[in-house]
Amino acid sequence: MPAPPILRVQPVTAELREAVLRLHARPEQDDFVSPPARTLPDAEQCPGSQPMAILLGDAVIGYYRIERSARSLAGRDADAEALGLRSFQLDAAWQGRGLGARALGVLLADLAQRHPQARRIVLTVNCSNAAALALYRRAGFADSGTRYHGGRSGPQHLLWRHLP
């Protein structure tokens, strides 16, 4: 019996780019997450961003970007040892299988290796996005108690988590 495919993350390369650009969320998530077709070109041009692919075996199933400065997320001062997480998403075809939580675990372990100086990760999530908020809380993110009001679809929770 063959081993199940391994869930892993890696920087978006030229070979993975087209598959990342084809990713899409469910229609009801469109207000909460921009498609990679919009965010990937920006991440590729921004020296402070690192676009990352989520892979199951060789299949690209998701995408996110890491910001070297958490300040870029909400315009707030954050400690210098904090990274930002943006655009975390799984393709609609891969949702509902428990892969989001597993992907966050792999992402956090990867950050500990790739950015050993970082101590925290910060993200924003729309106040109306109950599913994402529950996922992040299960992954150990805490609500900072402040709101970011610059989101395109309304106010957002500012969450943070210590890195392993």
> In whole angstroms, what is the distance from residue 34 CA to residue 18 CA?
16
Residues across the chain: 164
What is the rounded average pLDDT of the residues 107-114? 94
Q: Identify whether the C-beta of residue 65 lies closer than 8 Å to the C-beta of residue 87.
A: yes
CB of 120 closer than 8 Å to CB of 66:
no
Q: Are strands 49-56 and 82-90 parallel, antiparallel or unpaired?
A: unpaired
Give the model's pLDDT for residue 73: 58
Average pLDDT rounded to a whole number, residues 32-58: 93
Q: State the Cα–Cα distance between residues 120 and 71, nearest whole angstrom.
A: 12
Mean pLDDT of all residues belonging to the chain: 88
pLDDT above 60 for 86: yes
pTM for this predicted structure: 0.90
- pLDDT reading at 12 higher than 90: yes
pLDDT for 60 beyond 70: yes
The whole-number average pLDDT for the span 62-86 is 76
pLDDT of residue 77: 53
